[in-house]
Amino acid sequence: MRAKETYGVGLLGLGVVGTQVARLLLSPPTTHSIVDSPQLELHRILVRDITKERSIDLPDGILTENIDELLSDENISVIVEVMGGEHPAFDYQQRALTANKHLVTANKEVIAKHGKYLLDLAKSSNLELRFEASVGGGIPIINPVQRDLIANKITSIRAIINGTTNFILTQMADSDIEFESALKQAQKLGYAEPDSTNDIEGIDAAYKLAILASIAFQTHISPEEIYQEGITNLQPRDFQYAKELGYAIKLLAIAKESDDILQVRVHPALVPLESSLATISGPFNAVEVQGDLTGPVVFIGQGAGAAPTSSAVIGDLIAIASHPSTTSSAPTSKSPKRKITVASIQDIETQYYLRLNVADCSGVLAQIGAVFGKHSISVASVIQKDSDPQAQSAELVITTHPALESSMQSALTDIRKLGILLEIRNVLRIEV
């Protein structure tokens, strides 16, 4: 029986994901191989410190602190980058492509910020760049959007693509706890980093949305073009009131196109309890893609972690190794060409949820209603909550019919000037 051809791999990074990738590549071939595909063979691993203790048994001499040892190795055909962060990962990715190596990466920040440049560089060298693991961890989403849904005109994407925030919001909703307590739980369980700023402020989700939107709408969207809000202002009462109104609260990444104008935004939003996105709990992710032929298609799975992410990385490796002579025609090697206008957040139209602390006296609703009427905002419902006789205050929960963001912001400016307002406690968008 003829021995399988081998396909050399160089690995950049040996953190949580890198260790899992290395473990799979060093395991028996049947665990990560398919019939007729070459045997993936791990040759070298770049790390910051070769003396550090590892949780994996490695062959002698496989570790190096010198990137040139991987790039100059003629036995290595593909570089896998799982270091994370923008630098030095971006520089190493450029150098890998320049050194005539195919590239697989899980780095959402680099792909979001520099994906177009890297795709052009790969194409000019007849190389493959794959990044399935950069969005949604183990959820297959990049390739399905590029290949399986290619006959569709995609009109919208709505996604829960940050497992940390979804875990936090689930805990706040189910356990009626404050944000800080839910964050500490997420950190204790390993769902959140000690510095979780990128997650809780929506930055991580914006990177992933930039990648998804660029592919789905065949254009180039940079993270700076995406409006983003985090989840730190949410309080247990918001979840209680949302449930009473028939909604759940999720951090949504949204991209919608209409008449060659694209809106891209990341923020917490109320979604109907009966929707598929409302049921996504804990650290799970979901991506809902709306196509003109398929209608809504929903991808659900674990969006982070070593095993799911390494699944996507190894899948990309097998795809490259199985068809090395045809990689230049693969969709992931094509840089987007379409130009599209990105809408300002001020121009979007959506419904709103407001929680206000107001003076408990007559004429309050009339004054607020007059402001809304002035700005062409129609009120859908008003509920009075938690009157405080001592403070002579009450909490109002208001929902609106669809209105322009600019109108709502102008209305809020005027409401702040009303003598009856004590505090605007929260303003959230409603996505139906």
Positive or negative, the CA dihedral 263, 269, 272, 275 is positive
- pLDDT tens, 200-227? 999 999 999 999 999 999 999 999 999 9
pLDDT at 387: 73
Q: Which residue has the tokens 């997650």?
A: 199
pLDDT at 332: 45
Query: 346-430, which class in CATH?
Result: alpha beta
pLDDT at 3: 52
Burial 295-314 (b: 16+ CB within 10 A, else e): eebebbbbbbbbebbbbbbb
Catalytic residue among 101, 108, 113, 208: 208
Binning the chain into helix, strand and coil, the percentages to the nearest 5 are 35, 30, 35
* Among the listed residues 290, 18, 14, 188, the one whose alpha carbon sits nearest the alpha carbon of residue 299: 290
pLDDT, average across residues 356-383: 96
Cβ-contact 430, 270 below 8 angstroms: yes
Angstrom distance (rounded) from CA 355 to CA 238: 8
Q: pLDDT above 90 covers what percent of the chain? A: 85
pLDDT at 39: 87
CATH no., domain 6-134+307-333:
3.40.50.720
Using DSSP's 3-state secondary structure scheme, residue 1 falls into coil
* Helices within 77-128 (DSSP H only): 89-98, 108-124
- Provide CATH 3.40.50.720 ranges for the chain: 6-134+307-333
For residue 134, the 8-state DSSP code is: G
Quick check: 118 pLDDT over 60? yes
Quick check: 33 pLDDT over 70? no
- pLDDT tens, 318-366? 999 987 544 433 444 445 567 889 999 999 999 999 999 999 999 999 9
Quick check: 2 pLDDT over 90? no
How high is the mean pLDDT of the chain? 92
The pTM for the full model equals 0.93
- pLDDT tens, 49-85? 999 999 999 999 999 999 999 999 999 999 999 999 9
Angstrom distance (rounded) from CA 271 to CA 402: 14
pLDDT, average across residues 262-268: 98
Quick check: 426 pLDDT over 50? yes
Quick check: 35 pLDDT over 60? no
pLDDT at 306: 87
Q: How confident is the model at residue 28 (pLDDT cuts 50, 70, 90)?
A: confident
pLDDT at 62: 97
pLDDT, average across residues 387-391: 75
For this structure, is 123 an active site residue?
no
Q: How confident is the model at residue 190 (pLDDT cuts 50, 70, 90)?
A: confident
pLDDT at 34: 55
pLDDT, average across residues 167-179: 97
pLDDT at 4: 61
Cβ-contact 209, 161 below 8 angstroms: yes
- Provide CATH 3.30.360.10 ranges for the chain: 142-302
Quickly name the fold that domain 142-302 has: Dihydrodipicolinate Reductase; domain 2 (3.30.360)
Residue 259: partners with Cβ closer than 8 Å, 6 or more residues away: none
Quick check: 31 pLDDT over 80? no
Q: How confident is the model at residue 297 (pLDDT cuts 50, 70, 90)?
A: very high
- CA distances for 283 relative to 127, 162, 250, 286, angstroms: 34, 8, 12, 10
Angstrom distance (rounded) from CA 402 to CA 386: 27
Burial of 82 from C-beta contacts in 10 A (0-12 / 13-18 / 19+): buried
* Among the listed residues 428, 377, 383, the one whose alpha carbon sits nearest the alpha carbon of residue 245: 383
- Provide CATH 3.30.70.260 ranges for the chain: 346-430
Residue 61: partners with Cβ closer than 8 Å, 6 or more residues away: none
Q: How confident is the model at residue 138 (pLDDT cuts 50, 70, 90)?
A: confident
